[in-house]
Amino acid sequence: MELAGGGCLQFIVMFFTALFMGIGFAGGDLVAPPDEIAMVEVILVTEGETADIDTLQQAVEVVTQRLTALDLEPVSVSVTPDLSLAVTFPALESPTIDEVNAILTANGSLEIVDFTGLEVSQVADQPITTVLYPNVAPDALLNPLTNQPFEGLLSSEDVLTAEALVSSFDPNLWMVSVTFTPEAGERLAAFTRERVGEPLGIVVDGIVVWAPVIQTEIGSEVEIQGNFSQLEAQRLAVSLGGDALPVRLVVASIGLP
């Protein structure tokens, strides 16, 4: 674990301060006693590209939305002078630091994609290239029928709400219920009405998480069934319930503020 503003002496001071405060370092998590609030600072940097200040401010808004959805408080998100993001939030047992970081760095893009004419086995669990998100996943597949990016029908911009619920198919699994805008729902209904028996792609962050065969007309509400655990469904709902990140972010360091 790298500590921001590091140095051996600073790490030793932080370590003994943590022991004095009763904060344990175990499995990458910082856990405070019930009557204390331990804070953790995560530095996020852009991956493979240089973002301008306006783009980073948009990222600040998205990260803040996600922390708020997790009911973490107090939180702080800001752009640093070296154009990274400094994110401070409570270090709790649940969600853990690693789980929070996974949510903060998820792109948060959702697409409903036209898989007409394809076999589900050709695309299931695969990263794909779409017109709207051509660079979300490395080595992503093109549409084998056209050798062009897949056509998206709906995207994250069409989402009104996203909620984690117990699966309607299996009470031991969880799903994510997504509600689209009325206009998007009308587009999806018109499309699916004419393509009963064809597969439809549910694509999250460039990966096909589900490719159900259309049984009937689909409107404004879609259930994403992906054999999710409760935590996985909650993480996905938080990511999809707000805006997608305008730039790729990765964790550069984790430490005490």
DSSP string, 28-97: TEEE--TT---EEEEEEEESSS---HHHHHHHHHHHHHHHHHTT--S-EEEE-TTS-EEEEEE--SSS-H
Q: Which of 32, 34, 41, 163 is nearest to 101 (CA)?
A: 41
Query: What CATH code is assigned to 110-241?
Result: 3.30.1360.200
Query: What CATH code is assigned to 8-106+244-255?
Result: 3.30.70.3400
Q: Which of 4, 38, 42 is nearest to 250 (CA)?
A: 42
Residue 253 is predicted with a pLDDT of 95
Q: Which of 78, 69, 79 is nearest to 100 (CA)?
A: 69
**Beta partners for residue 110, in sequence order:** 204
Per-residue pLDDT of the chain (257 residues; tens, 9 = 90+): 333 444 433 333 332 333 333 333 333 444 444 456 789 999 999 987 788 999 999 999 999 989 988 888 899 999 999 999 999 999 888 888 998 998 899 888 889 999 999 999 989 889 999 998 887 777 899 999 999 999 999 998 899 999 999 988 888 899 999 999 999 999 999 999 999 999 999 998 888 988 999 999 999 998 888 788 888 888 888 888 888 888 889 999 999 87
- Contact status, residue 91 vs residue 30, Cβ threshold 8 Å: yes
Residue 50 is predicted with a pLDDT of 80
Here the tokens at position 96 are 């853990």
Pairing of strands 174-180, 221-228: antiparallel
Q: Which of 50, 207, 210 is nearest to 133 (CA)?
A: 207
Here the tokens at position 76 are 């702080």
Residue with tokens 């879609």: 222
Residue 149 and residue 121: Cα distance in Å, rounded?
18
Q: Give the 3-state secondary structure of residue 164.
A: strand
**Domain residue spans in the chain?**
8-106+244-255, 110-241
